[in-house]
Amino acid sequence: MKSLIVYFSHCHENYVNGDIVDLEKGNTQVVAEKISQYIDADLFEIKPLHDYPVQYHQCTQVAKEEIENQKRPKIKNIIPHFEQYQNIYLGFPNWWGTMPMCVWTFLESYQFDGKDVYPFITHEGSGFGRSLQDLKTIIPHAYIHEGLAIFGHQVYESEDKIKSWVGE
């Protein structure tokens, strides 16, 4: 069975080490691409139908409203033949203590029963928050393995941490 790295990432304005900075590439994308250097896996970016705002504070407000209202933003791309994948490396930023709601949409769109899920997250101090518990609720029949949490401001220096995690 094949492996798949699935991620959602937000570039442009992000909170990084106490400041708002403009990122050409989102932190979670950086980690996903680093993981792909160490394992043989297809790479898939979750792309919401409607982009999140570029400005940090506007983006966090939209994210908060989606979580509070349990919205499921539509996704504009799909994974053909998802059933061929056994190992799913799932990456996302921590937004308001959990996964962005477009990741919920993704998880609810596919059959995860019996699949091995390896979550990885980027954050600026909140780690996984409640996202691991949420994963177990959304995909209860998947095997959720130990996750990897990386500070957003450390993604470019995270090779050793990533290599160790995928090696386990």
Helix (H) or strand (E) holding 65: helix 56-68
CA distance 64 to 27: 20
Task: Give burial (CB, 10 Å; 0-12/13-18/19+) of 110.
Answer: middle
Full-model pTM: 0.95
Question: Tens-of-pLDDT digits for all 168 residues of the chain?
Answer: 899 999 999 999 888 888 898 999 999 999 999 999 999 999 999 999 999 999 999 999 999 999 999 999 999 999 999 999 999 999 999 999 999 999 999 999 999 999 999 999 999 989 999 999 999 999 999 999 999 999 999 999 999 999 999 986
pLDDT at residue 65, as a whole number? 97
pLDDT at residue 66, as a whole number? 97
Tokens 């029949």 -> residue: 141
pLDDT at residue 168, as a whole number? 64
Task: Tell me if 136 sits within 8 A of 145, measured CB to CB.
Answer: no
Q: What is the CA radius of gyration of the chain?
A: 15
pLDDT at residue 16, as a whole number? 83
